[in-house]
Amino acid sequence: MATDVMEQLLELFAEVVGEPAAHGPDTVRADMDTWDSLAQVRLVYAVERAFAVELPESTLTSEPSLADIAAAVAAARQERVS
Amino acid sequence: MATDVAVELSPADGYVAWTQRAKALAREPGTSGIGVRMALLATYTTDFLAELLPLAGARAGLTPELLEFPFGQVEQVLLAPQTPFREGDYVVLAGTHHDVTGTVDETVNRWVGLWDAAARSGVRVVQLGFAPPAVDAYGPAAWRAPQSLSYRVREINARLAEHAAGRVLFVDVEQLAAQVGLRQWEDPRSWYRVRQPYAADSLPWLAAAIADTVAADRGRSARCVVVDLDGTLWGGILGDDGIDGIRVGTGPDGEPFADFQRYLRALTERGVLLAVASKNDRDLALRAIAEAPGMVLRVEDFTHIVADWRPKSEQLQEISDKIRLGLSSFVFVDDNPAECAQVVAAHPEVRALCLPASAAKFATELAALPWLHPGSLSSEDFTRQRSYQALAAAERTATDNLDEFLAGLEMVATIEPINSTTLDRAAQLIAKTNQFNLTTRRHTQTQVRKMAEDPQWFAATLRLRDRFADHGIVGVLLAEAVGDAGGAVEIDTLLLSCRVIGRNAEDNLLAAAAEWALAQGSSRLVGRYLPTARNALVRDLYPGHGFVLEAESEQGSVFGYDLSGGAPARSPHVREAQMQHGY
């Protein structure tokens, strides 16, 4: 389940940012110039749309890794189910 | 390509579909549209909107080049003495209700003041209206509470729209937001995150509205809608079901057709022409249009009706020849995909809509396309339908003797300098006229205004009426005095609307320009013919008026007229209402 999310997230990331995540799930914004603040917003749009969830604002204001975002998606899904 | 995108992609398809398509477009840039340079100046982040504009442009027949600026720099960019925005053709100005902190006057003055700054730089403004807030403390009572934000926003929109008339282009964002629904239109999370007030799915609506408005300003709007009969204007097949058997007007399968006809009739009221291309027996088709109970459109609503058994591509060609409009200004509407494909294969320039299965959706589908955007309506748009019908009537009364025919029209022309009330129409003609256009130079409205104000330029319109109709403003002549006193006057633009081709009204325009040149002390009038795919009609215009060929190259031909013997003659059949051109 979580690996599914990660796979799809990496795909979305490559599509939105225009290149694959430099360090896979461990990639953070500081690792890539192309992952700028606008790309971040685009990524969140895409993630929220693809997984039908709403991510907490902290996902945007902090500097999460892709693994953190995947975890946030999983948590948001959990919330929706319960 | 452009036509496909228009049919396949609607703003309602949403942000994800649009961004994917925009990326695909960026990878394979097609540059078939009209090139326009646009700046985007807003009080909010426009990166997301800007990303969709090339696609919205392609959909409307434009190839936009964007000049980008940081957000929130509206005044700084517009008022700075040296900014690259001046190189643009258009500047899109946009705010949000978050800016509306003071009075209505303050906000209106802010934006109208910026229009003046843009006009001084020669850039045409596209002002976006404001969307009302989704949340208003006055709730449903906001409409009667002038202090509420919703009330002030509506007031600002109304005032901006009023000021915009004849001056700048205005996009009614309030109406777009209403179509989508205010709660879906805004996205407060996006506002706090990146200062972008709109929901992602609203952005395609905004981008499309901007592109469609500019495309209409550039003369991209279609001028004639050609419809099929069976399955398009009524349900059933006339040849099989008979006049009593076709369905239109009543019942759940007849009412939608009548409503579609009402939509089409409303289009004709603002100047769009209607024609029929149908595979049917002509007499039966005419009788059905005239007699079928429940029909809204009548025979007189159509500029031309073709009903026979030829391929539809040939039927369209006949309509084009009859009403003297190029096929690229046609929209073809048919419920049969095979007919649409046949027409587009034969005439790729025709924009074709293949109707969906349900007649209830016909009007929505056609209205969602960028093709019938009215742009800035001029009073001529409202008279055009009558004028084309007069053209057909005039042709019916034509005798073998052309002179007798022209004399019988009792034509009266008015030639006058371009002024603020005629500038819109003159610019519209310069943007749209293809056939009777000696140079096909597409000057913007701002450029035309500058010429009209410059004493070195003769910039005049021709208005023509005859005993059948007032055709309104149908001709433009722009000419510039070049060289010192006693030098030449060169005709930059000479065009006539296809409505009045063959009337010899151009004789009067040439004579007026020549008289002006003489008054300037010029000895020579120079004309130029720049061939295009569409203007072979006027290739011999200058030699036919006594001009002598002086030079010829790949770029066209230059002709000179010696003014020492006076101006060329006016048409004996066109009386000039008054010599009020003032030149």
Q: What is the pLDDT of residues A10-60, one digit of tens each?
A: 999 998 888 999 999 999 988 998 888 888 888 888 899 889 998 888 877
The partner residue sitting opposite A41, judged by closest CB among B16, B19, B194, is: B194
Asked if residue B292 has pLDDT above 80, the reply is: yes
From B16's Cα to the closest Cα of chain A, the distance in A is 8
- Cβ distance B48 to A46 less than 8 Å, yes or no, reads no
pLDDT (average), residues B157-185:
93
From A26's Cα to the closest Cα of chain B, the distance in A is 24
pLDDT averaged over every residue in chain B:
89
From B391's Cα to the closest Cα of chain A, the distance in A is 55
Q: For the sheet containing B124-128, what is the strand order?
A: B62-67, B34-42, B90-94, B124-128, B169-171
Residue B487: band (very low, low, confident or very high) from pLDDT cuts 50, 70, 90: confident
Among the ranges given (B193-197, B297-301, B374-378), the one the predictor scored with the smallest mean pLDDT: B374-378
Using the structure block, give the residue that is written with the tokens 């189910």: A81
Q: Nearest residue on chain B to A18, judged by CA atoms?
A: B23
Q: What span, in angstroms and rounded, lies between the C-alpha atoms of B492 and B526?
A: 9
pLDDT of residue B78: 82
pTM for this entry: 0.73
Q: What span, in angstroms and rounded, lies between the C-alpha atoms of B341 and B110?
A: 50
Q: Burial code of B405-442, b = ≥16 C-beta within 10 A, e = fewer?
A: bbebbebbbbbbbbeeebbbbbbbbbbbbbbbbbbbeb
Residue B330: band (very low, low, confident or very high) from pLDDT cuts 50, 70, 90: very high
pLDDT (average), residues B202-224:
94
Predicted interface score ipTM higher than 0.95:
no
* Cβ–Cβ contact A49 with B under 8 A: yes
* Cβ–Cβ contact A52 with B under 8 A: no
pLDDT of residue B48: 92
pLDDT in tens, B24-68: 888 876 667 899 999 999 999 999 999 999 999 999 999 999 987
* Cβ–Cβ contact A7 with B under 8 A: no
Residue B401: band (very low, low, confident or very high) from pLDDT cuts 50, 70, 90: low
Q: Nearest residue on chain B to A59, judged by CA atoms?
A: B193
The partner residue sitting opposite A38, judged by closest CB among B192, B194, B200, is: B194
pLDDT (average), residues B368-372:
93
- Cβ distance B16 to A46 less than 8 Å, yes or no, reads yes
* Cβ–Cβ contact B47 with A under 8 A: yes
Q: What span, in angstroms and rounded, lies between the C-alpha atoms of B206 and B225?
A: 26
Asked if residue B448 has pLDDT above 70, the reply is: yes
Q: Give the largest Cα separation in chain B, rounded.
A: 77
Give residue B129's Cα distance to chain centre: 21
pLDDT (average), residues B408-425:
89
pLDDT of residue B1: 47
Secondary structure class of B471 (helix, strand, coil): strand
The partner residue sitting opposite A49, judged by closest CB among B16, B189, B192, is: B16
Residues B559 and B527: beta-carbon distance below 8 Å: yes
- Cβ distance B193 to A41 less than 8 Å, yes or no, reads yes
Q: Which of A63-72, B405-414, B573-582 is predicted most confidently? A: A63-72
Asked if residue B174 has pLDDT above 90, the reply is: yes
pLDDT (average), residues B519-532:
92
- Cβ distance B189 to A46 less than 8 Å, yes or no, reads no
| Structure tokens belonging to residue B293 | 């109970």
pLDDT of residue B376: 66
| DSSP string of B482-547, one letter each residue | ESSTTSEEEEEEEEE-GGGTTS-HHHHHHHHHHHHHHHTT--EEEEEE---SS-GGGTTHHHHTT-
- Cβ distance B194 to A49 less than 8 Å, yes or no, reads no
Residue B14: band (very low, low, confident or very high) from pLDDT cuts 50, 70, 90: very high
CA angle B388, B389, B394 (to 5 degrees): 95
* Cβ–Cβ contact B194 with A under 8 A: yes
- Of B13, B18, B19, which to mutate for an interface test with A (greatest number of A Cβ within 10 Å)? B19
| Structure tokens belonging to residue B344 | 């587009």
pLDDT of residue B387: 67
Contacts B16 to A, Cβ<8 Å: 46, 49
B235 DSSP assignment = B
From A46's Cα to the closest Cα of chain B, the distance in A is 8
Residue B493: band (very low, low, confident or very high) from pLDDT cuts 50, 70, 90: very high
pLDDT of residue B384: 62
- Cβ distance B192 to A57 less than 8 Å, yes or no, reads yes
Contacts B47 to A, Cβ<8 Å: 38
